[in-house]
Amino acid sequence: MSQRHPIISVTGSSGAGTTSVRNVFEQIFRREKITAAHIEGDAFHRYDRAEMKTKMAEAEAAGNRHFSHFSPETNLLAELAATFESYAATGTGQYRHYIHDQDEAERYGGTPGTFTPWENLPAPTDILLYEGLHGAVRHGDIDTGRHADVKIGVVPVINLEWIQKIHRDRATRRYSTEAVMDTILRRMPDYVHYICPQFTETDINFQRVPTVDTSNPFIARWIPTADESIVVIRFRDPHGIDFPYLLAMLHGSFMSRANSIAVPGNKFDLAMQLILTPIIMQLMDRKRRAQ
C-alpha cells in the first residue's frame, strides 16, 4: 500500500464481468479528473496464444488435462507483484499489452495473440488500476495484492459465470459450446485453488445472482438481463459504510447480512458509483496530504 501512489485491483475469473467494473472506474476517473494507469492481467500470461496451445498439447500428452491460464505456472505472478511494488514505491513500473484481436493489433502494431514489448507505465499518474485474474492471489512467497490499497472482487454465481463465458466465446471467438465446456472443465482445479481464494482477500465483492432458471448453463439461449438479477455486495470491513444512505439511494435494495447489501441488478452501475467514488476520493485526498 502507498499513500503517494495508490493501487486498485479488480479481480475475477474469465467472463465474470471485470471489464464492466473497469468501465465504471474509468467513468469516475474521467468525472473527477483523475489520471490513471491501467494494466490487464492478460499481459502477465507467461505464454502467447500459439505457445499456450503448444504447452497445452504437451501437458495433455503427458496426462495433465488441467493445464490452464488460471494457474501460477502459466502466469508471471512474480512480475505482476513486482509491478505493484514498483508503482507503490515510485509511481511507475513495467507493463505490456496482450493483443486480443485485429482491432488491438492495429492499435498496438502487433499480431493477435501476441504481446507488445515491455515498457514503463506512463508517468505521472494519480492511481493504478489492475483488472484481471490474479489481482489478490497468494502462491508461495508471492502475494500480488499486498501492495493494493483497494481490492475488488467480481463474482457471478458459477452457473451465470459459465453462461456469460459460453455466450462470449461463441460470439467473439467462434468457439463451439463443447469447446467452451472443455475449457471450463480444464480450468476447474485451478479455479478452485487460485481464483476462489482471492475473494476472501478482497475488500468488496460484487456478486451477480440471477433470479431466473440457470440450472443448465450449457443450453441457456441468452444471458440473464440486469432486470433478471440481483447483485450481492459484501464488504470485508463494514465500518464506515453508510448503509442507510445506500438503501435510500438504491430503490429495492435490502441488507442481507450485517456486512452485505442486495441491490436490484439494474442498479449495479449506480451502486458501484455510489460505493467506489468516495473510496477513490479518499485515496486521492490521502495522496494529496502525503505530497
Q: Cβ(250)–Cβ(244) under 8 Å?
A: no
Q: Could you tell me the three cell numbers for 175?
A: 468457439
Write out residues in the chain with pLDDT < 70, as ranges.
1, 14-17
The predicted pLDDT at position 116 comes to 96
Pairing mode of beta strands 127-132, 7-11? parallel
The per-residue pLDDT for 14 is 65
Torsion angle defined by CA atoms of residues 188, 99, 157 and 190, in that order, rounded to the nearest 10 degrees: 20
* Backbone phi and psi for residue 192, each to the nearest 5 degrees, phi listed first: -70, -40
The type of residue at 215 is S
3-state secondary structure of 246: helix
DSSP tag of 51? H
pLDDT of residue 124: 94
Asked whether the whole model's pTM tops 0.95, one would answer no
Place of cell 505493484: 84
Predicted local distance difference test score (pLDDT) of residue 17: 66
Instruction: For residue 97, give the H/E element and its range.
Output: none
In this prediction, residue 15 carries a pLDDT of 60
What is the pLDDT at residue 177?
84
The grid coordinates listed for 198 are 482471492
